[in-house]
Each structure stands twice: as C-alpha cells, then as structure tokens.
Amino acid sequence: MLTAFIRVFRTPDLRKKVLFTIFILAVFRLGQQLPTPGVSQSALTACANLSKSSGVFQLINLFSGDSITRLAVFALGIMPYIIATTIIQLLATVIPRLETLRQEGQTGQAKMTQYSRYLTIGLAILQSTGIIALARSGELLGTTCPKPLIPNPSIFTISTMVVIMTAGTAVIMWLGELVTDRGIGNGMSVMIFTQIIAVVPSQLLDVYRDKGGATFTIVMIMAVALVAFIALMEQAQRRIPIQYAKRMVGRRMYGGTSTYIPLKINQAGVMPVIFASSLLYIPQLVAQLFGTKVDGTLTDTGWSGWVNTNLVFGDKPAYAISYFVLLIFFTYFYVSITFNPTEVADNMKRSGGFIPGIRPGGPTAGYLSHVLSRLTAAGSLYLACIALIPLVAVGLLDANQQFPLGGTSILIMVGVGLDTVKQLESQLQQRNYEGFLR
C-alpha cells in the first residue's frame, strides 16, 4: 500500500487532487475552530469542564467535529445538507414533479440539487436558532453553566450569530462540492470522516486518563475488532446473475454476455444512523426549550422530566429500545426509496436482460424484492448492533457518554475510507498500476 501511495504522488493529476482535498479539509477544520462573534470562550471552557452531555447530543456533536460545543462558525457541520437532501429524495416518491425531475437525468438532478440547497438554508436557520437558544439559556452542554455563554444576548447579536452559522453551512456545501468535483472521494462523506477523526484522539486520551490502562486496552481491542467486522460487512454483497440475450442490429450481433447486480447487505449505508440519532435528539431539544424548569434545570416531573430521564442518556432501556426500533425502520425505509425493483426489472427487460430461471417483468421484480427484503433484514440488524455497541460499553465498562471509536464513528470512517481508496485504486489501474488492493 505504501508503494501505491508513492505512485499517487508521482502522478501529477492525482497529486493535485489529493493536495487540493487536503487544502479544502484544512479550511474546513479552520472554520470549525473559529468562534462565532458574541460567544464567551472562557464561559464555554468552564461549562465544558462541568458538562456530562447526553449520548444523543454527543452523537450530534460528533457529526459536527466537536464544533457545536465551541459555537464555531461551522458549528452546524453538514447535517442540514444531509437531512435536506434526504427529504428531497423522500418527497420525490410522493410528488410527481420531483419524480419527473429525478428521471430527467443530469438536468433534473441539477434542479433537485438546487432545491436541496434552498432547504438546507432553511434547516440551518432553524437549527442555529435552536442551538443559540440553548446557549442563551446556558443549557447547551447539558448542564447549567456558571457563566453566560452569550454575555450580550441582544437581538442584533443573536441575529448576527444565526446569519453567520447559516452562512457557514452554505460555505460547507460549497467546499464539499469542490472536493467532489476537483478532489478525491465524495466531498460530504470525506468531510464527515474528517470531523470524526478530529475528535477521536482527545476521546481516547480521556478514556486513558479517567479509566486507566486496562479499560483503554479493552477499548482498543474492541475498536480493532469492529474495524475488521465492519470492513467485512461493508464489502459483503449478494450478486444476482444477469444474462443478456443475443440481438441482431443491422449486421452486427449484440448481447450474449453475462453480468450481475451487486446488492450489498448494508444497502442503506450510514443514513439510518443519522436519521435515528437526529430524531431522538428532537425530544431532548424540545424538553430543553419548553420543559418545566427549576433554577434553570429540568424537573423530574411531567413529560419533560420523563424525556430527560429516559431519552437523554444512552444507558437507559427506553433510549436503547427506541434507537434500535428507529434504526430498523429507517433502514427499510431508506432502502425502499433508493432501490426500486420494478424499475430495475423494467430496465432489464427493455435491454434484453433476464435472471436465469426467472421470467422478465413482474416475476423478476418480485424476485428482486424478495432478495432485497432478506438482505435488508440482515443489514438492519447489523446496523442496529453496531450503533448500540457504545451503549453496551457505557454499561459494562462504565465509560463516559462520549465513548470513543464507537460503532457509528467506525462505521462512517471505514465506509468512507473504503470508498476513497477504491476511487484512488481505480484511477491508478487506469494508468496500468497495481493499485491498493491485490
């Protein structure tokens, strides 16, 4: 692999792409360190030392590269864009206009991307307003801060913070598209990867300091085992054989070849984890904003008290069960909107392809749907088990809520890493190199 990396930097166009990607990621990390005007950094530091934030909040903060707790310019990360893109994809299944655009190829896709950008700005305004409201009340980090995080909470200051955070999200969208067009890998995925990698060293150091060398060793062994298992599952796929009949077009014979449809076990990727964690964060956010409080702290009575007791910390049974059920649901839901067996069967029929032993058309669609349903069952259980590993570790090892190298973070890191390496490998093989994988 070292030889392959050397060949990457020896190839001029690949070297430019890699260096450009590194430069964009450096700009991205700089924006996650710059504080938003109007925030007291000394108060944030003092409050962070007292904070024992929930597992849900820490997962959201993980996707922002630990920049929410700093109220940075890029504090929102790319979550608004991911959610907006997914919402547009969901609406395309029920709104004929969007469905038509999706089928129009590159032109229609460009229009849907434009809609996603508009929705991203709207979501960024809502999310930044909620985060700033929590910061204003001193409850952003899950505890009552001794000092005000926003010393001068005037309308002008709050409005300026909302505008800057929203503009930061727009800049992140632009940076991600630059990486996709001129760099290596999918821009948004690479930026998520960077955010997670940025917080892992400090989390490992916290475990070593708080729990000692024995717990740290167990955590590292679990991390290595998880990486191997996730890499195996992410590569696993069911290959559906496809045979194309021979056709005479003019004086030339076409077809007669065989190929396959690769159906991955984890067809949905990490999107169900993002959806489930975002949905579980909503009750906590609503309780913090509108719940019954005494001296700035949520009481243990009423609906807000139940939410604060059961849906905040990951070691609670209600949280674990809700997370598990949501992951199963969103896995099936996301797969159903991203893979249409009927459309695939129709395309195969028009091109003269068929599955050996299965009649074209309706029977092929039914067969694909049956296989996909069984794969999704295994994939959803795999995702649920991986995502719940940090919760089990919290209970068994008495680790802190910000458990490092948990299932969700490793799932994203391994998935993005494999995709990026495959892109580099394909470009190396085009230049008659051996690539990374042998």
Question: Among 23-27, 186-190, 297-301, 366-370, which is the least confidently predicted range?
Answer: 297-301
Which residues 6+ apart lie within 8 Å of 285 measured at CB? 130, 134
Asked whether the predicted pLDDT for residue 210 surpasses 80, the reply is no
Task: Quote the percentage of the chain above a pLDDT of 70.
Answer: 76
Q: What is the mean pLDDT of the chain?
A: 77
Query: Measured between alpha carbons, how far apart are the two ends of the chain, in Å?
Result: 9
Greatest mean pLDDT among 3-17, 41-55, 81-95, 338-352 lies in: 338-352
Length of the chain: 438
Q: pLDDT value at position 416?
A: 80
Above 70 in pLDDT, residue 330? yes
Q: How sure is the predictor about 23, in pLDDT bands with cuts at 50, 70 and 90? A: very high
pLDDT of 56 reads 46
Q: What is the mean pLDDT of residues 251-279?
A: 76
pLDDT at 117 over 50: yes
How large is the average pLDDT for residues 160-169?
A: 91
Two structure tokens written together for 114: 């434009």
Q: Which two tokens stand for residue 323?
A: 């997370």
The DSSP code for 35 is B
Condensed to tens digits (0 to 9), the pLDDT of residues 198-209 reads: 777 777 787 778
Lowest-confidence pick of 176-180, 260-264, 406-410? 406-410
CB atoms within 10 A of CB 421: 17
Give the tens place of pLDDT for each residue, 25-80.
999 888 888 888 888 777 777 776 655 444 445 555 555 556 666 788 888 887 78
Burial 120-144 (b: 16+ CB within 10 A, else e): bbebbbebbbbbbbbbbbbbbbbbe
